[in-house]
Amino acid sequence: MSVDPRESQPNPQGSRIDPYVDAYAARAAGMVASEVRALFAVASRPEVVSLAGGMPNISALPLDALGELAQQVVVEQGRTALQYGSAQGDPVLRQQICEVMALEEIDASPDDVIVTVGSQQALDLVTKVFVDPGDVVLTEGPTYVTAINTFAAYQAHIEHIPMDDDGVIPEALEERLAALTRQGKRVKFFYTVPTFNNPAGVTLAPERRHRVLEICERFNLLVVEDNPYGLLRYEGDPVRPLRAESERNVIYLGSFSKTLSPGFRIGWALAPAAVRDKLILAVESAMLSHSNFNQAIVGRYLATQPWPEQIKEFNEMYRARRDAMLSSLDALMPPECSWTRPSGGFFVWATLPEGINSKAMLPRAVNERVAYVPGTGFYYGGGGERNMRLSFCYPTPEQIREGVRRLVSVLESEIEL
């Protein structure tokens, strides 16, 4: 993917040549807009069914109740809520976060929790604290696109470990770690989205979780477990997060973005004490403190509203959408295609026949009024050409069925070519 950084964005004079190109830090060289961003602007037109974005569907939120809570926060605790706060985050909210994590059998102390601006900031801070330019970061292949961008911004050397329908393949992780150790490489952590992976939709099988933890412990490697979707399960038994199995070596990232709202921008990291202290210092230098106001509203929401019921309501809505997508794919997709069958989360990962390039096909799909994310965005340095991520979180079941119909008609004409 070669994009000339000087041509990435028009400057205020309207020229596409960036006059500051020689001034940027080396780490900014990799910060370029995605090639498909322009197409996504077109894809947001109302006539296009977007199976591209991963926006949570917040239409079921109790807006009146949230409005009242916001007002109460200003009137009843404005003196603290509108003031600077702590870099670690509000202690009351940190206690409530432990109760949320307990739903997934994670046993944690509020002292070890750091509130962050979404789990995205936690990812950024962890990378800032651990990664020097050239250090190796291991991730699943494919993996969350903005994690790749974060690691690249800190000039990590990113390597992917392959997955199958049961998540990352432990033997592949072990082999790669052994090879990197032999080469004397500094491997900093293994970043994983083990439950309802974004973009793959798959979940790491319980027996593999033990293997992955055992391998990482043997190589003295930190695991960064990113779990924003764990509570969004539509069928089957819950799977314990890696952090519920082991406190050692695991930095756990959580978020309210999918179970409440991404607008509050509240996530968290749970880390061993020494790492926690570094992360708190990193928060201070990044932003002094968190928004007390947002934390107070979320705290009141958790204290006064039936939030586990709200999550159940979200899950019913998302289950219907997932079912609409899987049944349409089952009924319509050409036999040469395959796709994953997520039991939670937002995403299906499809594999197209040999010779079809999903990025090249996207303009034709958008012409036919359907959009998806090409698989290449989820790999660093190549891969995913025959894949696409299909999101079922935002469109209605009817729109999803129509979107899949349009997608299949583009795909069929592509196969015939």
Which residue ranges make up the site for ligand PMP (CB under 6 A)? 54, 118-120, 144, 193, 198, 226, 228, 255, 257, 262, 267
CB of 73 to ligand PMP, least distance (A): 21
CB of 103 to ligand PMP, least distance (A): 17
**257/291 with CB nearer ligand PMP:** 257
**85/228 with CB nearer ligand PMP:** 228
Shortest Cβ contact with ligand PMP: which residue?
A: 118
Distance CA 137, CA 187 (A): 6
CB of 212 to ligand PMP, least distance (A): 17
The alpha carbon dihedral of 137, 143, 144, 146 has a sign of positive
CB of 108 to ligand PMP, least distance (A): 18
**86/119 with CB nearer ligand PMP:** 119
CA distances from 332 to 187, 375, 391 (A): 44, 21, 17
Record the tokens describing residue 393, joined without a space.
Answer: 């979180």
**125/180 with CB nearer ligand PMP:** 125
Strand, coil or helix: what is 348? strand
Strand, coil or helix: what is 258? coil
Record the tokens describing residue 76, joined without a space.
Answer: 């009843």
**242/361 with CB nearer ligand PMP:** 242
Long-range CB pairs of 66-75 (<8 Å, 24+ gap) are: 66/297, 66/301, 69/297, 69/300, 69/301, 69/304, 69/305, 70/297, 72/300, 73/293, 73/296, 73/297, 73/300, 74/293
Read off φ and ψ for residue 226, nearest 5 degrees.
Answer: -105, 115
Contact of 371 with 406, CB cutoff 8 Å:
no
In 157-249, the DSSP E strands lie at 157-164, 167-168, 187-192, 222-226
**56/85 with CB nearer ligand PMP:** 56
CB of 82 to ligand PMP, least distance (A): 24
CB of 68 to ligand PMP, least distance (A): 24
Task: Give the residue from 261, 255, 228, 345 showing the smallest Cα distance to 60.
Answer: 261
Q: How many residues does the chain have?
A: 417
Strand, coil or helix: what is 136? strand
CB of 77 to ligand PMP, least distance (A): 25
Strands 250-255 and 222-226: parallel
Distance CA 160, CA 133 (A): 18
**209/369 with CB nearer ligand PMP:** 209
**257/315 with CB nearer ligand PMP:** 257
Task: Give the residue from 105, 121, 88 showing the smallest Cα distance to 295.
Answer: 88
**54/299 with CB nearer ligand PMP:** 54
Task: Give the residue from 314, 407, 416 showing the smallest Cα distance to 364.
Answer: 407
CB of 264 to ligand PMP, least distance (A): 9
**196/293 with CB nearer ligand PMP:** 196
CB of 238 to ligand PMP, least distance (A): 18
CB of 193 to ligand PMP, least distance (A): 5
